[in-house]
Each structure stands twice: as C-alpha cells, then as structure tokens.
Amino acid sequence: MAKDHRQVQRDRVVVVGAGFGGFQTAQSLSGANADVILIDRNNYSTFTPLIYQVATGQLEPTLVAYPIRTKLRGMKNVRFLQAAVDRIDFDNKLVGTHAGLVPYEYLVIATGTQPSYHGVPGAQEHTFTLKSLQGAIALRDHILCCFEQAAIVKEIEERQRLLTFVIVGGGATGVEVAGALAELLQGAFRRDFSELIGLERIVLVQSASSLLPEFSQQLGNYTHRKLERMGVEVHLNVKMAEVTAASATLSNQQIFNTATVVWAAGIQAAQPDLAQPVKEASKGKLVVRDTLQLMSHPNVYAIGDVAYFERLGKPLSGVAPEALQQGVTTAYNIRRQLKGKLPQPFGYWNKGRLAIVGGYGGVGRIAGIDFGSFGAWIMWLIVHLTYLPGYRNRLFVLLTWIQNYLLGDRAIRQVSSQIRHTASSRGHK
C-alpha cells in the first residue's frame, strides 16, 4: 500500500468514505479497468438509519455495521485502506492519510456530515449525537448509567435530573430517538427500576412550527399526537439557547435540569481538509456539476451529504437513496472517463421517504402521497430490513424486533464500560 503506485499502469480511483455513497461507488466500479482504493477510518460500513436503535438499547452495534472487507470479497480491483484522511491535494492528486500519501487519477469524496451546533453555547461539549456508532454506544451507556445512578441517589431533584432526557430537533432523527426512548422507559426501565416510575421525562424541542417538516402538516400533527400519547413533551417554535453539564435552557427561558441532551438539530458537511479551496454552498457542502464532478476538478467527484446538488431547484434532502444513486452514477461516469467519454448528468429517482414514530406508528411519502400509522411503520421495518447488509444481521434484527414488540422489552442493556461517573459529569461529543 505504501509502495509507489504511480508505477502501476492502470488508473487509480480513490474513494474517501465508505458510507452509502462511497461504498456504492466502489462496488459499482468492481470489474472496471482501474484500481480502486476505498478509504475509511472504520473497518466497517454503518447502516446509519438504524443507529438510533443502538442508542436506545434495541440492537447490538455489530448488527448495524458491516465489515468492509467482507463486502469487498470477490471484487478483485477494489482494495480497502483503513485510514484517517488528513488532507486532499487536488493539484498533486494526492490523498494524505495517517498511513501515508495515496496518489489518484480519479477521486470520489463521500465523507458525509458532522453535527452543526449553530453556535449554541455548551452544545458541542455537553450533548450526544447520533452521527457514529461510537456516539450511539456512548449515549446508550450514558442512559443506562443515569438509571443506575438515579437508583442510588436519595435527593428527589437529582433523581429527576438524571431521568430527564432532552432531545433537540424535531426531524426524523429526533422523532425516532424520542419514540424509541419512550418505549425503553415504558418497557424495560419500568420493569427494572420500579421504584423510579413516574420520575422519568422526555422533552422534544423543535424550532419549526410542526414535527417532521419534510412531511405534510397532517403527518406532523399525527406524529405530535402519537409522541404525546407515549409520554413525550413536545415543545414547538422554540430553540435551544444553552446547554450545561446539568441543564438545558430554551430560547423562551424555560430551563430543564437534565443530565442528557441529544443533539439532532442540524448537520453540516464533514469536509476533509482541502489543500486548494473549492466552491462551497451553505453548511460547507461542495458544489458539484450536474455530473457530480467538482466545478473546478473534472477528475474529482463529491457525492452524498458532503455534496451540494440541486434537483428541481431544491437541494437534495440527505437520505440514503440519494447517496446510493449518486454512487452508481459516479462509478458510471468514471468508467466513461476511463474510456475517454464524457460524464452524464445525475438523475435522481425519488423512491419516497419513511420515518418511524414509535411502536406501530410511522409516516411516509411515496409518489407524492402522504400516509401514516401502522402501514408506514411496517413498511419502514421491511424497507430497512431489505437494505441492511448481511443475512446474519437481517435475521438477528428481525428476531430482535419481534422480541421487542411482542414482549415490550429491550435486550441490550449492558453498559459496555465499567463503573462510570458520566451521569453527573458529562462532556461527551
């Protein structure tokens, strides 16, 4: 890997990031007349739509993460490099990693997103996010530690603080976490901590005037009612003003004493460090042509959440099918370039959107038609099970869901680290 690959005769394609877009690109380049190197800092691809179920004790982390090398078996021209990318140098066609410089002829940037805190004081230091498996595990461990801690302390105020969970952001992630956390509190928590019943509190803070603004107002209202029935306090038209280790303050001055704030209120591009700046849109996204090439560098593509692409005058919404389809197009365009042909424009086929609200409740929009309730919920489960990589993962997730919903219980409640005092001294990213 550290040898001088410039001696190799075939062109080299480097793909940075093995998320939905990056992995799809590498896969679609299998068999192409080029050497492909897929770089990621993890040795697995994360199935991000199910990360929230790791955070809420529903699924084992390994069930939503798939080893990249297993997926690449049989693709002879595709290799994997586990490395953190430090810098990209377009002029010299080099990707700098902690494992050395990797030269390329074609480059695909698919580095995804990172949380955006909108300058809210304390948010970065004192909130949990769901952008990575590590973050989800940290949140799960923290929630379980809060329960155990609350069982020990005698002051009622401290108990209540430990059992108050604030979720910032009323989009799909925030709604899904709130619903899953409510299920956890109504199921396993009540059985395990009967002396604490009644002290728990879940608060969902949304800056817009309804939940799930990407769906219709009607589905937003349905979601609102459903979450409230599950015991979630929904606060609309209000923002988070400040987060400390012990509290969360809203823009309307309301203060919640809490040990747990989950940040699901914004993302920005996880842009790698670029030696030569390129054109950016809002949130640090890299502006691409209709062929997904960078404006200034025809041998460099940017796809998925790190790229800015407009469709029908509006930016893409940042869901997995967009990244997957961009990966297919990027591989197709690189294959054309390798043959001396011109790349073709990307056309997105919108398959629709789905979100889960809680047990037996979901919302969806397919072919412009909105629908909610049980039908959307069961469709969500089927779609995610179908797209989840690996037969073992699919079977185990299916069996776990059946157990969860039949018994109203959660299996994964082991805190992965030994005694921690995080409950009172947070400070996790």
Catalytic residues: 176
H or E stretch including 125? helix 123-126
Give 56's contacts (C-beta < 8 A, 6+ positions apart).
140, 143, 177, 180, 181, 183, 184, 410
Q: Rule CB under 8 A: is residue 44 a binding residue for a copy of itself?
A: yes
Q: What is the CA radius of gyration of the chain?
A: 22
Among 127, 160, 258, 400, binds a copy of itself (CB under 8 A): 400
Using CB under 8 A as the binding rule, whether residue 425 contacts a copy of itself is answered as no
If binding is defined by CB under 8 A, does position 83 make contact with a copy of itself? yes
Task: Using DSSP, state whether 402 is helix, strand or coil.
Answer: helix
Residue 188 DSSP label: I
Instruction: State the CB neighbour count (10 A cutoff) for residue 217.
Output: 13
Q: Of the ranges 133-141, 172-180, 197-205, 219-227, which one interacts with a copy of itself (CB under 8 A)?
A: 133-141
Give 65 or 292: the residue with its C-beta nearer to a copy of itself. 65
- Answer whether 212's CB lies under 8 Å from 363's CB: yes
Give 76's Cβ-side CA count (13 Å radius).
3
**Considering only residues 332, 348, 387, 396, which one is a binding residue for a copy of itself as defined by CB under 8 A?**
396
At 79, list the tokens.
């290799």
Query: Within 264-421, where are the H helices?
Result: 320-338, 374-387, 391-407
**What string marks each residue from 351 to 390 as x (binds a copy of itself by CB under 8 A) or -?**
---------------------------------------x
Selected binder of a copy of itself within 8, 197, 255, 399 (CB under 8 A): 399
Which residue's CB is nearer to a copy of itself, number 107 or number 138? Answer: 138
Name the minimum Å distance from CB 362 to a copy of itself.
25
Residue 87 CA: distances (Å) to CA of 1, 95, 101:
18, 6, 9
Tell me which stretch binds a copy of itself (CB under 8 A): 75-83, 111-119, 273-281, 357-365.
75-83
Cβ 176 to a copy of itself shortest distance, Å = 21
CA distances (Å), 187 to each of 171, 314, 398, in order? 24, 41, 19
Alpha helices in 6-67 (DSSP H): 20-28, 51-55
Position 429 contacts a copy of itself (CB under 8 A): no
Smallest gap from residue 419 Cβ to a copy of itself (A): 5
For residue 83, which of 17, 147, 27 has the smallest C-alpha distance? 17
154 versus 314: smaller Cβ distance to a copy of itself: 154
As a whole number of angstroms, the distance between CA 427 and CA 429 comes to 7
Segment near a copy of itself (CB under 8 A); pick from 1-9, 167-175, 254-262, 362-370: 1-9
Tokens describing residue 235: 């606060």
Task: Determine if 348 is a binding residue for a copy of itself (CB under 8 A).
Answer: no
Out of 43, 92, 209, 344, the residue judged to bind a copy of itself by CB under 8 A: 43
Question: What is the smallest separation between the CB atom of 41 and a copy of itself, expressed in angstroms?
Answer: 5
The nearest distance, CB 77 to a copy of itself, in angstroms, is: 14
Q: Choose one: 15-23, 40-48, 261-269, 353-361; the region binding a copy of itself (CB under 8 A).
A: 40-48
CA distance linking residue 292 with residue 295, whole number of Å: 9
CA 85 to chain centre: 20
Q: Does 118 bind a copy of itself (CB under 8 A)?
A: no
Residue 128 sits at the vertex; the CA angle it makes with 122 and 134, to the nearest 5 degrees, is 135
Half-sphere exposure of 134 (CA within 13 A, CB side): 5
| 42 contributes a contact to a copy of itself by CB under 8 A | yes
Stretch that binds a copy of itself, among 241-249, 343-351, 363-371, 412-420 (CB under 8 A): 412-420
Interface ranges with a copy of itself (CB under 8 A)? 1-3, 41-44, 60-63, 65-67, 69-70, 73, 81-84, 98-100, 132-134, 137, 144, 148, 151-154, 188, 191-193, 390, 392, 395-396, 399-400, 403, 411-419, 421
